[in-house]
Amino acid sequence: MAERRVTVGWPEGLHARPASIFVRAATASGVPVTIAKGDGSPVNAASMLAVLSLGAEGGQEVVLASDAEGSEAALDRLAKLVSEGLEELPGTV
């Protein structure tokens, strides 16, 4: 299983708008991805309610994981999005 440990770069954490950006990017990745806060239980990264339920704050570590084919590139892109607090997934127009 591939995973990336990253620090949440959005000051407000994975709440409302940042969570929406992340969920859209996870869905667009085309591979099943999970996200967990620290060493907590993983949840579906494509589910807005699941991501919001994590309560991940800015500066906290989250773990992105997937065992699907092509997951390495998808996790790299999602990790960049989360760690840098970007407004959209890198490589999108």
Residue 35 lies in a domain: yes
3-state SS of 33-79 is CEEEECCCCCEECCCHHHHHHHCCCCCCEEEEEECCCCHHHHHHHHH
Residue 93 has pLDDT above 60, yes or no: no
Residue 89 lies in a domain: no
pLDDT digits (tens, 9 = 90+) for 39-88: 899 999 999 999 999 999 999 999 999 999 989 999 999 999 999 998 87
Residue 9 lies in a domain: yes
Count of structural domains within the chain: 1
Q: What is the CATH number of the domain that holds 41?
A: 3.30.1340.10
What domain range includes position 10?
2-84
pLDDT digits (tens, 9 = 90+) for 10-32: 999 999 999 999 999 999 999 99
Tell me the catalytic residues.
Answer: 15
Residue 91 has pLDDT above 80, yes or no: no
